[in-house]
Every structure is written in C-alpha cells, then in structure tokens.
Amino acid sequence: MFYHIKELQYQARPERPDPLLAKRLQEILAGKFGEMTVAIQYLLQGWNLRGDANSKYKDLLLDTGTEELAHVEIVSTLIARLLDNAPWQDQDAIAAQNPMVGAILAGMSPMHAIYSGLGALPSDAEGYPWNGRYVTATGNLLADFRDNLAKESGGRVEAARVYESTTDRGVRDTLAFLIARDTMHQNQWAAALSELEENEGFVAPGTFPQERERREFSYVFFNFSRGEQSAQGRWARGPSCDGKGVFQYVTNPQAMGEQQSLPPAPPYIHDTPP
C-alpha cells in the first residue's frame, strides 16, 4: 500500500517553456527505458518474488520501484511546465510572423495540445504509447536484475542525450538528479548481481543443470560473418566468464542439421497442394 505526499522528491523548474523539449522528455517519462517502465518493472518484480528467504530482494525492489514512481511525477511535472502557454491559437498567423515559432509548432507533439491539454502523456517521444511488454519480471532475479541494469544503462544514455540538447538550467538540474540516480541504480543492480552470481553461478537460470544442455556448444564462437576481427576479443579464447569452460573460435561454421523440409498439410487446411 502507498502513501503520497505532494512535495516532489526533487525540483522540476524549467527556466522557460519549450514544447520541443517537452516532446523529447516524453522518452524519459514513458519510453522503453523511461521512468514508467522501471517503476512498474521493479514493483512487479517485487510483488512476484517468491520465497521469504528473498525478502531483502523484495524490499530492495519495492524501495526502488517506489522511488521511480516519484521520478514519474517529477518528469510529468517537467513536461507540463515546458508546455506552459504553448502558442497553439491560430497557428498559421503565428508561423507567418515568426518562422522560428512556426518550426516549433510544426515540430511539437500535436497530442500535447489536442489530447492532453498541455499535460504529460504516457507515450514516448514519437507518441507511441507505453506498453506492458517493456516490463521484464521473469521470477528469476539473475535475469531480472540484468534487465534492470540494462534499463538503467539505456536510461542514463538517453537522459545524457536530452541533457545535451538543451541549455535550460532548470531542466539540466533535474536531469542531473535523475542521472545521478541512474548511476546509483546501475551500481545497485550490479552489487545485487554479484551476490546472486556468487550463490547461483553466472549463467541464468542457475538451476537448469548444465548436463542437460548440449555442452559441446556452450563455449564455442561461430564466425558467421566473413572476416575474423571477432577473433580479437576475450570471448574468442581463454577461460569462459562462468569459470566452467574455455572459449573456442570456429572460423568456418558448418550446418549440423539436414535440409529443411516439411510434409504436406491435410486437405482441410487448404495449403498449397503438394
């Protein structure tokens, strides 16, 4: 259960309205790596986590997911303020007087006026709605925390790019806070992963016995694109990261199966007759 207070976790005060920056910030709010994704992802991972022995991870997830809800609030506020007084009325006349404003009107998200009335949207910078397939919550924390680390990495890359796109000191200040939190969260998931990997081994899921996999292919690199630059990396030779094998490099990979073919379909399916 949640309680809300109306104070923001961190301030969100642009120096001036900027509808194009508002559009770019939609990616930070509700893009694949956005605040909505991590909020719902961490909460759902927490609520779905099984086994009381895992309660410290459950707490970790719910702590962080609850903070991300505060980030959703911050970025929503930032977007709404960047839309203050957007020059929507009689666009032709405005654009004729001022090509610069014309370009802004041409480039701003039309839904920011028509659909949300100068408010934030649960959509990314292209207007594509946030959707639940962004959320990773597999029940296996090794897999989940790697996805969390990836999301915070993608998220910090995106926030850095939006930061570069503006000189608005207020927006930069808020982004500097969010970017710092991404730094923490990258560190945090890596710390948690190091614990899990110590207990379960490196390969996820750690519970699937390696005897069951075709182990002769578990540490082999196949060179399917002509040119052998890929032979220069740590993945091509030496001990594997899980400490259980040795990387091999196969320069000319060969097919091991037969020609692909299928028997005819029964007549009631009306496929092409054989």
60-79 positions binding Ca ion, by CB under 5 A: 71
- Does the protein bind Ca ion through residue 156 (CB under 5 A)? no
Instruction: Give the separation between CA 23 and CA 18, rounded to whole angstroms.
Output: 9
Q: Which long-range contacts (CB under 8 A, 24 or more apart) does 243-252 make?
A: 243/202, 244/210, 245/215, 245/218, 245/219, 246/219, 247/219, 247/220, 247/221, 248/219, 248/220, 248/221, 249/220, 249/221, 249/223, 250/220, 250/221, 250/222, 250/223, 251/223, 252/223
CB of 22 to Ca ion, least distance (A): 18
- Does the protein bind a second copy through residue 203 (CB under 8 A)? yes
- Does the protein bind a second copy through residue 251 (CB under 8 A)? no
Residues 11-50 that bind a second copy (CB under 8 A): 11-12, 18, 20-21, 23-24, 27, 30-32, 36, 40, 43-44, 47-50
Nearest to 39 by CA among 141, 142, 152, 127: 152
| Residue 69 interacts with, from Ca ion, a second copy, none (CB under 5-8 Å by kind) | a second copy
Q: Residue 179: what residue type? A: I
Window 135-174: contact mask with a second copy (x via CB under 8 A): xxxxxxxxx--xx-xx--xx-xxx-xxxxxxxxx---xx-
| Residue 251 interacts with, from Ca ion, a second copy, none (CB under 5-8 Å by kind) | none
**Comparison of 86 and 185: residue with beta carbon closer to Ca ion:** 185
- Does the protein bind a second copy through residue 221 (CB under 8 A)? yes
- Does the protein bind Ca ion through residue 151 (CB under 5 A)? no
| Dihedral of alpha carbons 127, 133, 139, 143, sign | negative
**Comparison of 1 and 100: residue with beta carbon closer to Ca ion:** 1
| Residue 226 interacts with, from a second copy, Ca ion, none (CB under 5-8 Å by kind) | a second copy
CB of 124 to a second copy, least distance (A): 7
Nearest to 138 by CA among 50, 211, 241, 29: 50
Residues 11-50 that bind Ca ion (CB under 5 A): none
* Residue 110: other Cβ atoms inside 10 A: 11
| Residue 80 interacts with, from Ca ion, a second copy, none (CB under 5-8 Å by kind) | a second copy
Residues 50-89 that bind a second copy (CB under 8 A): 50-60, 62-67, 69-70, 72-74, 76-77, 80-81, 84-86, 88-89
Find out whether 193 and 152 touch, Cβ atoms under 8 Å: no
**Comparison of 71 and 112: residue with beta carbon closer to Ca ion:** 71
Q: Residue 213: what residue type? A: E
CB of 72 to a second copy, least distance (A): 8
- Burial (CB count within 10 angstroms: exposed 0-12, middle 13-18, buried 19+), residue 36: buried
- Residues near Ca ion (CB under 5 A) are 71
